């Protein structure tokens, strides 16, 4: 006996055929459309029929029944498939729904998302219920199955075990394994990790690597072990090497690695003419980076750099869909595909004037965005943090001899602390600041110093971190306590204090990680945060990522984690966490 879902899908398919037979009217017809045929790489003229969320016909004919049909004359416009972001991290201050809504208004109608934060914010049952809610959005939302936490948890097994990982891999909304930040463990002989990768591949789901700076030898080993793709090339030569070894290559253009112009320049200079195994990604950029959109910005760069127009559009549509075995659903304007369509003013202008997603108007020319929020976060117990403990002066005791020295936004080296950190205030002539990572439940803490983040700021306290634990940075213990008190009142967020005053606050009332509001508001808040930190000595470009990656053990050289201060290369705990 067929499942109910199959009955529903059968009825839907029969209805599509009935539209062609003239028995049912389509919901929308885009007539006189000049559209990009992804398969022949030609711009063709057709009438495009849409029935609910699907394209059912692309050709010369008009439907016999059209009394209830919305007919749009697309003469003098150009139609391309909705863009796909193949590698999204949808928790970078924003929440996944608001990121999707914002991106869709600029033509990115499909996101393939990291699931990492669901491990920390919700149990598996609630997370899977949330995935079902996301499937009701007009934007198509797909997910990864992470194999590791990219940090050192006190109990990694509780989050990443075979039952958990395999259940995620079996979910129909999960379409890849990875990204594989734990690849050193794989090379060191971790057969459980290899088993998870094999399970992903057996289900037709590719495995995404995370291989910055990898040698040809390492890349070859990773290919042999089953890694399908990588987005970590930092030069054109690295991208080409990955292509030659058979990887699907994602060219990155993110807030901490805006590499796309350089990558394309170097690839084109090397006479690369085939881009069939190339995609582009913004790799979880921070909010202000998305002010003008998402994949439309990558497309703009590719077109300006001289990538052939049809190849550029395929890089953010069909190439992605094909890699993820979704080409029958996404990535083209053809019968049976989800009705994600961008309407452009000019062929070479990738910024759409109108956007359809699942057959719904996301944006109409001159009418702006039409999307509203749908997810009821409270229903999933994702709301303000209830911090039922207090940060005491006794928590702000610093005595370890090794601190963390910022080389750039995210690379950190160890240094020998020479400043007197027993004081309540570190004088401004010293570059050090106090650094505290403390359990969100108040059970443990790790104390050290951080050099290079600020030379003056009294205190920053953030519940936004790799695991949702509390990060405290600053020169003044009293300002750190003041910022903590305000963060506790807000129920999570990022708070800056200086000389007894609150300078800035960003409420993150969805689990202490995500903003519950419009992307436009968040963008302005992030700009204000960055400007304020620059005034107080922040020397780099992306303070949000600097805070996030303090605990990220997939980056060199030293990190502050739930286990303590860790030497990443040696995988050794130099100074363990202290129980409170």
Helix, coil or strand: residue 320: helix
Cα angle: 118, vertex 122, 126; to 5 degrees: 105
Q: Report the number of secondary-structure helices (H) and strands (E) in the chain.
A: 17, 29
Please tell me the predicted confidence (pLDDT) of residue 372.
78
Average pLDDT, the chain: 96
Condensed to tens digits (0 to 9), the pLDDT of residues 115-160 reads 999 999 999 999 999 999 999 999 999 999 999 999 999 999 999 9
C-alpha span between 435 and 441 (Å, rounded): 18
Average pLDDT over residues 304-330: 98
C-alpha span between 551 and 467 (Å, rounded): 8
The strand pair at 248-252 and 572-576 is best described as unpaired
Condensed to tens digits (0 to 9), the pLDDT of residues 543-563 reads 999 999 999 999 999 999 999
Please tell me the predicted confidence (pLDDT) of residue 1.
36
Please tell me the predicted confidence (pLDDT) of residue 83.
99
C-alpha span between 423 and 489 (Å, rounded): 27
Which pair of structure tokens corresponds to residue 70? Answer: 């919305």
Which pair of structure tokens corresponds to residue 248? Answer: 């699907």
- Is the predicted pLDDT of residue 299 greater than 70, yes or no? yes
What are the E-state strand segments in 370-528?
402-406, 412-416, 432-438, 444-451, 459-462, 470-474, 493-498, 501-507
Identify any residues that bridge with 223 across adjacent strands, giving them in sequence order: none
Q: What are phi and psi of 235, to 5 degrees?
A: -135, 160
> How far lies 427's CA from each of 216, 318, 418, in Å?
48, 56, 13
Question: pLDDT category, 370, cuts 50, 70, 90?
Answer: low
- Is the predicted pLDDT of residue 42 greater than 50, yes or no? yes
Average pLDDT over residues 271-290: 97
Helix, coil or strand: residue 357: strand
C-alpha span between 102 and 8 (Å, rounded): 31
Which pair of structure tokens corresponds to residue 482? Answer: 């003041």
- Is the predicted pLDDT of residue 2 greater than 90, yes or no? no
Reported as type and span, the H/E element at residue 281 is strand 278-281
Please tell me the predicted confidence (pLDDT) of residue 161.
97
Work out the burial of residue 173: count CB atoms within 10 Å of its CB; fewer than 13 is exposed, 13-18 middle, 19 or more buried.
middle
Cβ–Cβ under 8 Å, residues 264 and 278: no
Which pair of structure tokens corresponds to residue 386? Answer: 């209830």
Condensed to tens digits (0 to 9), the pLDDT of residues 482-538 reads 999 999 999 999 999 999 999 999 999 999 999 999 999 999 999 999 999 999 999
Question: pLDDT category, 3, cuts 50, 70, 90?
Answer: low
Sorted by sequence, the CB contacts under 8 Å of residue 65 that are 6+ apart come out as 22, 23, 24, 25
C-alpha span between 327 and 314 (Å, rounded): 12
Can you list the alpha helix ranges (DSSP code H) found in 115-226?
116-121, 124-134, 156-159, 162-170, 183-187, 191-202, 216-225
C-alpha span between 309 and 355 (Å, rounded): 20
C-alpha span between 399 and 448 (Å, rounded): 7
Rg (CA), the chain: 25
Distance of CA 291 to the CA centre of its chain: 15
Cβ–Cβ under 8 Å, residues 216 and 239: no
C-alpha span between 356 and 81 (Å, rounded): 9
Share of the chain above pLDDT 70, in %: 98
Assign residue 282 a region: left if phi > 0, alpha if psi is -120 to 50, beta otherwise? alpha
Please tell me the predicted confidence (pLDDT) of residue 520.
97
Cβ–Cβ under 8 Å, residues 253 and 281: yes
pTM beyond cutoff 0.75: yes
Please tell me the predicted confidence (pLDDT) of residue 305.
98
Question: pLDDT category, 9, cuts 50, 70, 90?
Answer: confident
- For the chain, first and last CA: distance in Å? 58
Average pLDDT over residues 13-27: 96
- Is the predicted pLDDT of residue 455 greater than 50, yes or no? yes
For residues 9 and 234, the model is more confident at 234
Please tell me the predicted confidence (pLDDT) of residue 373.
78
Identify any residues that bridge with 176 across adjacent strands, giving them in sequence order: 144
How is residue 137 annotated by DSSP? S
Distance of CA 42 to the CA centre of its chain: 32
C-alpha span between 83 and 341 (Å, rounded): 8
Please count the other Cβ atoms lying within 10 Å of the Cβ belonging to residue 269. Answer: 9
Torsion sign over Cα 475, 532, 391, 561: negative
Judged by average pLDDT, the poorest of 15-24, 357-366, 536-545 is: 357-366
Which pair of structure tokens corresponds to residue 168? Answer: 């995620």
Work out the burial of residue 427: count CB atoms within 10 Å of its CB; fewer than 13 is exposed, 13-18 middle, 19 or more buried.
exposed
Which pair of structure tokens corresponds to residue 449? Answer: 């110093």
Reported as type and span, the H/E element at residue 227 is none
Please tell me the predicted confidence (pLDDT) of residue 4.
58
Which strands make up the sheet holding 229-230, listed edge to edge?
A: 83-88, 108-113, 140-145, 174-180, 207-209, 229-230, 248-252, 278-281
Condensed to tens digits (0 to 9), the pLDDT of residues 204-218 reads 999 999 999 999 999
Which pair of structure tokens corresponds to residue 280? Answer: 């582009």
C-alpha span between 288 and 525 (Å, rounded): 9
Give the residue from 519, 513, 427, 521 showing the smallest Cα distance to 467: 513
Sorted by sequence, the CB contacts under 8 Å of residue 275 that are 6+ apart come out as 307, 308, 311, 312, 314, 315, 319
Sorted by sequence, the CB contacts under 8 Å of residue 50 that are 6+ apart come out as 26, 27, 28, 29, 30, 56, 339, 356, 359
């Amino acid at each position: 006996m067929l499942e109910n879902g199959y009955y529903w899908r059968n009825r839907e398919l029969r209805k599509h055929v009935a539209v062609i037979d003239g028995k049912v009217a389509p919901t929308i017809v885009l007539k006189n459309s000049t559209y990009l045929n992804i398969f022949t790489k030609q711009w063709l003229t057709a009438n495009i029929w849409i029935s609910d969320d699907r394209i059912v016909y692309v050709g010369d004919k008009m439907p016999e029944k059209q009394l209830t049909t919305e007919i749009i004359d697309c003469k003098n416009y150009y139609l391309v498939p909705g863009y796909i972001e193949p590698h999204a991290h949808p928790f970078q201050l924003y929440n996944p729904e608001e990121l999707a809504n914002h991106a869709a208004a600029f033509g990115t109608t499909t996101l393939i998302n990291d699931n990492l934060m669901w491990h920390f914010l919700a149990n598996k049952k609630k997370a899977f219920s949330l995935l079902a809610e996301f499937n009701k959005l007009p934007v198509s939302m797909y997910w990864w199955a992470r194999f590791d936490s990219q940090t050192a948890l006190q109990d990694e097994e509780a989050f990443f075990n075979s039952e958990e990982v395999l259940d995620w891999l079996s979910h129909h909304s999960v379409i890849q394994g990875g990204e594989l930040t734990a690849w050193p463990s794989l090379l060191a002989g971790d057969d459980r990790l290899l088993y998870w990768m094999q399970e992903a591949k057996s289900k037709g789901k590719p495995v995404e690597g995370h291989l910055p700076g990898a040698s040809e030898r390492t890349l070859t080993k990773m290919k042999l072990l089953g890694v399908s793709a990588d987005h970590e090339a930092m030069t054109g030569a690295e991208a080409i090497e990955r292509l030659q070894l058979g990887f699907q290559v994602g060219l990155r253009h993110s807030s901490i690695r805006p590499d796309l112009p350089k990558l394309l320049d170097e690839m084109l200079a090397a006479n690369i003419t085939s881009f069939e195994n190339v995609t582009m990604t913004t790799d979880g950029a921070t909010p202000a980076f998305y002010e003008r959109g998402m994949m439309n910005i990558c497309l703009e760069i590719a077109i300006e750099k001289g990538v052939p127009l049809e190849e550029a559009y395929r890089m953010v549509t069909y190439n992605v869909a094909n890699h993820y075995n979704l080409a029958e659903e996404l990535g083209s304007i053809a019968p049976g595909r989800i009705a994600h369509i961008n309407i452009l003013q000019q062929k070479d202008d990738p910024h759409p004037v109108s956007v359809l997603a699942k057959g719904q108007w996301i944006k109409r020319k001159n009418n702006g965005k039409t999307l509203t929020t749908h997810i009821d976060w409270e229903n999933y117990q994702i709301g303000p943090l209830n911090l039922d403990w207090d940060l005491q002066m006794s928590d702000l005791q610093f005595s370890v001899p090794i601190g963390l020295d910022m080389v750039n936004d995210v690379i950190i080296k160890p240094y020998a602390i020479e400043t007197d950190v027993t004081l309540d205030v570190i004088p401004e002539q010293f570059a050090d600041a106090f650094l505290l990572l403390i359990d969100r439940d108040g059970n443990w803490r790790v104390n050290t110093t951080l050099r290079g983040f600020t030379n003056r700021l009294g205190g920053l306290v953030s519940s936004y971190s790799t695991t949702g634990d509390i990060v405290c940075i600053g020169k003044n213990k009293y300002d750190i306590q003041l910022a903590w008190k305000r963060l506790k009142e807000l129920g999570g967020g990022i708070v800056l204090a200086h000389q007894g005053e609150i300078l800035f606050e960003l409420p993150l009332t969805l689990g202490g990680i995500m903003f519950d509001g419009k992307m436009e508001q968040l963008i302005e808040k992030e700009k204000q945060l960055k400007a304020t930190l620059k005034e107080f000595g922040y020397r780099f470009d992306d303070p949000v990522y600097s805070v996030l990656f303090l605990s990220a053990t997939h980056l060199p050289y030293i990190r502050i984690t739930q286990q303590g201060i860790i030497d990443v290369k040696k995988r050794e705990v130099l100074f363990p966490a202290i129980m409170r």
